[in-house]
């Protein structure tokens, strides 16, 4: 009987030790909690609002996850997000639909450049990625402030399509109907998933894992590690760009400072989603689940009626717990495994 | 010049390459400033630069301690540690000298708790120190938000602190004299005591230090703790200089402090650090900043300039690309 319970507990621990299962377990717990606190959680209209609120962090976390898989961090993604909203609203002119297309293309080019600059420092010059992206974060902030010293700017009407189809003037009836139950940002998330699905099946996808797992041996087996790391940063930039589209669609304006708080949360979310801090391990899709979990934690705090002043404090504590928790658990597990293996 | 003096000179240059570079760069920026903006190079301007640079240099000490202990250590929480100390001690001091000792005790206490937490999470739980200290900044900022919600930050610094941080002896600002004292003390501790050797040893080669019986994790934790305490004490100087405490008074020093340490030749891989270099790095950055302000670039130019300077310096000093 005793051995049996031991067997079950080991099985349970093994189950929990697999990051995919533990994050899905956490997801279920958080959804139940949120549903208890917010009565109409499952009503379609409120679900759409929830997806709207969560999606930017999901996109940013997926990008961060790609970078972390390649063995680096990006501390500039929040600042880059702000920069893209500034560039978008700087180029667009209200009432000139075509300027939206130009803005889209120019900002995408800016995003790719941002990724290359980060990747050049961290991958090619091999400087610690945290410090490089910490420095570039200030450059993005500064450029954003040049363009837009105070929040504001122009936007074209069809950019509403990134937030709610129904807000687009003169949209066909089918879009009006779609908008009632389909948040467009969900399409952006699906697009990001699609992009990653394709990439993860190419050689580049495998190389990202290889470089993140062991840069030195990846290099020795002939992989151009610098190029792989630059590619990872560019993919991240593109996902951040998708999040910027959502925010401009929602707010119709740009702001050089609003993205900052996101940076840390993306790392926390990726870790909760099972991405190893040391790189090479995890999946971008479970990182997505991590982003939902972190967002749900914030939602639960909101519905638990905690004062607004506590927001930053609680967010910081959650990040520490989210990052340190799995790590402590792992260290403890390794140690107890060593004790068991050693002859009594 | 005899060959012997030549080799000695070459050796001296080699050992102090970054310090000499920083010195030359400072002179260059001042001259450039004088060319572009008239009245940039005056005694008054130089002294103001020194005074403002002193705060960056003191924060740079925190970064140097943490960086030289290796493990890609950096402390991003120094700004908010200083801010929270300034805010909490303002009401304790209330403009009188009588409670200064209590304020110093509180400062040390805050620094100890923050630094120890940073150190334990970085060294023992093995989390990236940048992520830990960034999260710590957020926690401290959050605590400040909670404390100041629906309440005004009241109180003034004690006169002693104001004399120390804001006043001048003759024409030389007192804070510059304080920085000189700190520099001497730090250099003696780092280069003439066992503590310095241990710190650099752990940063240089962790395995070797561990195998020679040093508790490397403890050393790293101590480095973070000292960084926290020093940052907290700088908070007292900041309020002494400003006369009041406010929410973001320390956060603007974080990036310059790291940049100063990197410019000063402290390696991000650990194992070295010359505080004189950090002080010169701080003066260089402050001079660049003054120039940007004199040109009327404001916040945007300041952050863009600092970020680009740091990025370029990182590439030049730390860059380690593979040669094919």
What does the pLDDT average to over B110-123? 96
- Please say whether the beta carbons of B68 and B199 come within 8 A: yes
User: Residue B290 is encoded by which pair of tokens?
Assistant: 């003054």
Instruction: Give domain status of residue B223, yes or no.
Output: yes
Q: What percent of chain A clears pLDDT 90, i.e. is strictly above it? A: 49
In terms of CA atoms, which chain A residue is nearest residue B268?
A128
Q: How far apart are CA A290 and CA A281, in angstroms?
A: 15
In this structure, what token pair is assigned to residue B226? Answer: 């000292």
Tokens representing A132? 């490089």
In a domain, residue B119? The reply is yes
CB contact at 8 A, B22 and B264: yes
Look at B81-90, B199-208, B229-238 and tell me which has the smallest mean pLDDT.
B199-208
Is the pLDDT score of B177 beyond 90?
yes
Q: Is residue A263 part of a domain?
A: yes
- How many residues does the structure list for chain A? 344
For chain B, helix, strand, coil in percent to 5 are: 75, 0, 25
Residue B175 resides in a domain: yes
| B131-141 average pLDDT score | 91
Q: Which helix (H) or strand (E) is B168 found in, with range?
A: strand B168-169
Check residue B155 and report its DSSP letter: -
B258 touches chain A (CB under 8 A): yes
Q: Which of A2-16, A114-128, A191-205, A248-262 has the lowest mean pLDDT?
A: A2-16
CATH number at residue B91: 1.10.3470
Let me know if residue A4 belongs to a domain: no
- Provide the pLDDT for residue A9: 66
pLDDT at A1: 45
Most confident of A68-72, A125-129, A184-188, B155-159: A68-72
Average pLDDT over residues B254-283: 87
Domain count, chain A: 1
Instruction: Please tell me the predicted confidence (pLDDT) of residue B82.
Output: 96
Q: Under a CB-based contact definition with an 8 Å cutoff, are residues B118 and B77 in contact?
A: yes
pLDDT greater at residue A317 or residue B324: A317
Instruction: Grade residue A14 by pLDDT with cuts at 50, 70 and 90.
Output: low
Q: Which of residues 271-310 of B touch A (CB under 8 A)?
A: 299-308, 310
List the single residue in B131, B139, B145 with the smallest CB-CB distance to A323: B131
Is residue B291 very low, low, confident or very high in pLDDT (cuts 50, 70, 90)? confident
CA distance A312 to chain B (A): 4
Give the span between the Cα atoms of B155 and B153, in whole angstroms.
7
The CATH number covering residue A79 comes to 1.10.3470
- Least Cα distance to A287 among A211, A212, A196 occurs for A196
Rounded Cα distance, B68 and B200, in Å: 6
- pLDDT exceeds cutoff 50 at A151: yes
Q: Does some domain include residue A160? A: yes
- Evaluated on CA atoms A39, A41, A42, A46, the torsion sign reads positive
pLDDT at B61 over 60: yes
| Per-residue confidence (pLDDT) for residue A13, from 0 to 100 | 62
> What does the pLDDT read at residue A44?
84
Tell me how far apart the alpha carbons of residues B194 and A37 are, in angstroms, rounded to a whole number.
58
Contact B301 A324 (CB under 8 A): no
% residues pLDDT > 70 (chain B): 99
At residue A161, the pLDDT reads 86
Instruction: Report the C-alpha gap between B248 and B286 in whole angstroms.
Output: 19
pLDDT value at B281 more than 70: yes
Q: Contact, B225 vs B129, CB < 8 A?
A: no
Chain A residue at shortest CA distance from B269: A128
Residue B121 DSSP code: I
Query: DSSP state, B269?
Result: T
> Above 50 in pLDDT, residue A18?
yes
pLDDT of residue B87: 94
Query: Which tens digit of pLDDT belongs to each residue from A61-70?
Result: 999 999 999 9
Predicted local confidence at residue A344, as pLDDT: 43
Give the contacts of B289 (CB within 8 A, at least 6 positions apart): B256, B302, B305, B306
Q: What's the mean pLDDT in B8-16?
A: 79
Q: How many domains does chain B have?
A: 1
Using CB atoms, pick whichever of B128, B146, B299 lies closest to residue A130: B128
Return the higher-pLDDT residue of A180 and A205: A205
Taking CA atoms, A172 is separated from A100, A164, A166, A168, A169, in Å, by 20, 13, 9, 9, 9
Q: Are A307 and A324 in contact (CB under 8 A)?
A: no
Interface test with chain A among B81, B136, B314, B317, by most A beta carbons within 10 Å: B314
Residue B216 CA to residue B190 CA, distance in Å, equals: 17
- When mean pLDDT is compared across A115-124, B112-121, B253-262, the lowest value belongs to B253-262
Interval A318-331 mean pLDDT: 82
Inspect the interface and report whether the beta carbons of B268 and A127 lie closer than 8 Å: yes
**What is the average per-residue pLDDT within A90-104?**
92
Contact in structure between B214 and B202 (CB atoms under 8 Å): yes
Q: What's the mean pLDDT when you consider all of chain A? A: 87
Give the pLDDT mean for A112-131. Answer: 94
- Residues in contact with A36: Cβ distance below 8 Å, sequence separation at least 6, in sequence order: none
Residue B118 is assigned to a structural domain of this protein: yes
Averaged pLDDT, A272-283:
87
Task: Quickly state the pLDDT bin for B276 (edges 50, 70, 90).
Answer: very high
Task: Compare CB distances from B138 to A219, A319, A331 and report the shortest one's residue.
Answer: A319
**Nearest neighbour of B125 by CB, restricted to A134, A145, A328:** A328
Among A77-91, B45-59, B145-159, name the one with the lowest average pLDDT: B145-159
What per-residue string of b and e applies to A199-213 under the rule 16 or more CB within 10 Å gives b?
bbeeeebebbbbbbb
A71/A65 Cα distance (integer angstroms): 10
Q: Per-residue pLDDT for A260 more than 90?
A: no
Whole-structure pTM value:
0.85
Residue with tokens 């000298």: B97
pLDDT tens sequence across B68-77: 988 778 899 9
In this complex, do A219 and B72 lie within 8 Å of one another by their Cβ atoms? no
- CB pair distance less than 8 Å for B141 and A136: no
Domain that holds residue A150: 15-341
pLDDT score, position A274: 85
Task: List, as own/partner pairs, every contact residues B185-191 make where C-beta atoms lie below 8 angstroms and the sequence separation is at least 24, other chains included.
Answer: B186/B61, B186/B275, B187/B275, B187/B276, B190/B273, B190/B275
| Structural domain boundaries, residue B115 | 39-323
Q: What sign results for the dihedral spanned by CA atoms B288, B290, B295, B301?
A: positive
Residue B140: pLDDT band with limits 50, 70, 90: very high
Do A122 and A233 touch, CB atoms closer than 8 A? yes
Which band of pLDDT confidence, cut at 50, 70 and 90, is reported for residue B224?
A: very high
* Contact of B123 with B224, CB cutoff 8 Å: yes
Most confident of A157-161, A227-231, B162-166: A227-231
pLDDT of residue A19: 61
């Amino acid at each position: 009987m005793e051995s049996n319970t031991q067997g079950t507990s080991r099985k349970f621990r093994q189950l929990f030790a697999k990051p995919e299962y533990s994050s899905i377990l956490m997801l279920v717990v958080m959804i139940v909690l949120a549903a208890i606190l917010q009565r109409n959680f499952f009503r379609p209209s409120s679900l759409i609002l929830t997806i709207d609120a969560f999606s930017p962090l999901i996109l940013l976390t997926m990008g961060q996850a790609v970078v972390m898989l390649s063995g680096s961090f990006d501390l500039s993604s929040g600042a880059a997000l702000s920069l893209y909203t500034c560039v978008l609203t700087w180029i667009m002119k209200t009432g000139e639909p075509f300027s939206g297309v130009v803005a889209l293309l120019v900002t995408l080019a800016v995003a790719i450049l941002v990724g290359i600059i980060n990747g050049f420092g961290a991958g090619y010059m091999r400087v610690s990625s945290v410090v490089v992206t910490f420095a570039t974060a200030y450059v993005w902030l500064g450029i954003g402030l040049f363009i837009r010293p105070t929040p504001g700017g122009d936007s074209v009407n069809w950019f509403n399509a990134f937030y709610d189809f129904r807000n687009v003037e003169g949209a066909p009836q089918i879009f009006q109907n779609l908008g009632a139950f389909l948040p467009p940002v969900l399409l952006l998330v699906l697009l990001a998933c699609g992009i990653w699905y394709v990439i993860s099946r190419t050689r580049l996808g495998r190389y990202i894992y290889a470089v993140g797992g062991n840069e030195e041996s990846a290099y020795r087996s002939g992989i151009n590690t610098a190029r792989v790391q630059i590619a990872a940063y560019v993919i991240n930039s593109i996902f951040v760009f998708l999040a910027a589209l959502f925010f401009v669609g929602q707010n119709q304006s740009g702001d050089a400072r609003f993205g900052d708080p996101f940076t840390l949360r993306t790392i926390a979310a990726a870790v909760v989603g099972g991405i190893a801090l040391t790189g090479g391990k995890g999946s971008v899709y479970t990182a997505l689940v991590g982003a939902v979990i972190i967002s749900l934690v914030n939602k639960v705090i909101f519905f638990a009626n905690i004062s607004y002043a506590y927001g930053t404090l609680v967010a910081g504590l959650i990040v520490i717990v989210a990052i340190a928790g799995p790590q402590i658990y792992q260290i403890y597990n390794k140690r107890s495994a060593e004790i068991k293996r050693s002859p009594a | 010049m005899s060959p012997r003096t030549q080799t000695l000179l070459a050796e001296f240059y080699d050992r102090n390459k970054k310090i000499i570079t920083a010195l030359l760069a400072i002179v260059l920026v001042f001259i450039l400033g004088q060319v572009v903006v008239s009245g940039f190079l005056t005694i008054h301007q130089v002294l103001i630069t020194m005074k403002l640079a002193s705060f960056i240099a003191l924060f740079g000490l925190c970064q140097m301690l943490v960086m030289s202990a290796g493990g890609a250590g950096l402390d991003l929480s120094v700004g908010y540690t200083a801010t929270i100390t300034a805010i909490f001690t303002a009401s304790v001091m209330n403009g009188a000298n009588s409670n200064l000792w209590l304020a110093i005790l509180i400062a040390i206490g805050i620094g100890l708790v923050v630094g120890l937490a940073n150190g334990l999470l970085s060294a023992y739980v093995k989390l990236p120190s940048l992520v830990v200290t960034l999260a710590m900044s957020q926690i401290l900022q959050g605590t400040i938000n909670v404390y100041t919600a629906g309440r005004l930050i009241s109180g003034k610094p004690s006169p002693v602190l104001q004399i120390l941080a804001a006043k001048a002896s003759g024409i030389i600002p007192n804070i510059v004299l304080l920085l000189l004292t700190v520099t001497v003390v730090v250099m003696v501790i780092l280069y003439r005591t066992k503590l310095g050797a241990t710190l650099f040893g752990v940063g240089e080669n962790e395995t070797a230090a561990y195998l020679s019986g040093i508790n490397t994790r403890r050393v790293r934790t101590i480095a973070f703790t000292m960084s926290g305490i020093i940052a907290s004490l700088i908070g007292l100087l900041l309020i002494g200089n400003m006369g009041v405490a406010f929410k973001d008074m320390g956060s603007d020093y974080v990036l310059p402090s790291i940049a100063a340490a990197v410019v000063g030749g402290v390696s991000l891989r650990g194992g070295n650090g010359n505080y004189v270099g950090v002080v010169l790095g701080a003066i260089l950055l402050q001079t660049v900043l003054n120039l940007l302000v004199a040109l009327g670039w404001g916040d945007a130019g300041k952050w863009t300039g600092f970020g680009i300077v740091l990025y370029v310096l990182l590439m030049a000093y730390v860059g380690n690309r593979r040669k094919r």
